[in-house]
Copies of this chain bind each other. A is one copy, B any other.
């Protein structure tokens, strides 16, 4: 998508290194950065400068290509990158796509680029399938950032919105702020501003009441890993939205490319859930009134916090998956069938 009139993806190959948008700085600063070493790639994923399941898969793919170019041990590179974050399966898919053609650095870079382009094609196709679920003025609730920054381009949950906007459907987005890292308030809201999409920020826990009041037509979230039975791990808070949607008869869709499906994991209980540092709950960062980006501590210094980064939404709460091969039922058979359909290119 465009930023200040220039086309960007979330991360890209930059000659002999990897460029990326430092998503930690949004919305108050837009800055790009460069990872020249494997360690820098791993750190950018771990500290969430680069985040979003499909995007970290692409970053991992380019990371393997960079390791090959730099003469690093490819096995060690694979393990290092795979262990940066445990929940999103896309990371493993991206790494595998490039390792499968190792050790030729040129072939590996080509494979990384192909993986990148395939993810972008998938994201764009998700937009077409998902836009068919929207009508004029549809009010879409989304959580976290499953936007173009999370999926290189177009996004997963946002792709139907951007597509609908281009079709003149004037969608409206409820942006769930997404504590603790506030990716909704910081990143999705920034994307909405950039794309000129009418939107309104809401505290996560206010979404249930919006649904009860019939002010939400559809919920669309992304996913970090979808098990073989359709159970879905996604950003903490997704499960609450799914429960509220079910209680109020609001359709609840998960938008994700097939690279997010992990058919080797039988169900949600088997998906590893990352626990992150409690400081992410304790401190909030933003622009202070003196124009400086600062962090502030909210609770007393004596108070400890718990910080699971993801939760698990059972398949039976999910109306369907919006994928690049169409709308897929949240059932084992529906998912198996999706993998037999032709993929867009």
Q: A residues engaging B (CB < 8 A)?
A: 27-28, 175, 177-180, 182, 185-186, 189-190, 192-193, 199-210, 212, 236-237, 239-241, 243-244, 247, 278, 281-289, 293-300, 302-308, 311-312
Contact = CB atoms under 8 A, between A and B. Distances in A.
A344 B332 CA distance: 58
13 contacts: A179-B203, A185-B298, A185-B303, A201-B305, A203-B236, A205-B311, A206-B308, A240-B240, A284-B284, A284-B296, A286-B296, A287-B296, A288-B295
Contacts of A289: 294-295
Contacts of A177: 179, 281, 298-299
A42 to B, nearest CB: 26
B201 A282 contact: yes
A199 B203 CA distance: 23
Given A179-B179, A209-B308, A202 B288 contact: no
A293 B295 CA distance: 11
Contact of A201 (B178, B293, B306, B311): B306
A286 B297 contact: yes
Nearest to A305: B201
Given A200-B304, A203-B204, A207-B240, 8 more contacts: A27-B299, A179-B203, A182-B298, A189-B303, A193-B300, A193-B303, A201-B299, A206-B236
A239 B208 contact: yes
**Copies of this chain in its oligomeric complex:** 2
B296 A209 contact: no
Nearest to A174: B306
Contacts of A244: 239-240, 243
Given A205-B240, A239-B212, A243-B208, A200 B306 contact: yes
A76 B289 CA distance: 38
Contact of A299 (B185, B209, B282, B283): B185
Question: Which of A178, A239, A241, A293 has the most C-beta atoms of chain B within 10 angstroms of its own C-beta?
Answer: A239
A129 to B, nearest CB: 27
A285 B296 contact: yes
Question: Which of A199, A240, A283, A294 has the most C-beta atoms of chain B within 10 angstroms of its own C-beta?
Answer: A240
A27 B282 CA distance: 13
A286 B298 contact: yes
A189 B311 CA distance: 24
A53 to B, nearest CB: 18
Nearest to A290: B294
A175 B299 CA distance: 10
Given A243-B243, A305-B201, A299 B186 contact: yes
A265 B250 CA distance: 28
A19 to B, nearest CB: 23
Contact of A300 (B189, B203, B283): B189
A206 B305 CA distance: 11
Given A300-B190, A308-B209, A237 B203 contact: yes
Contact of A208 (B27, B247, B303, B311): B311
A297 B179 CA distance: 14
Contacts of A28: 297, 300
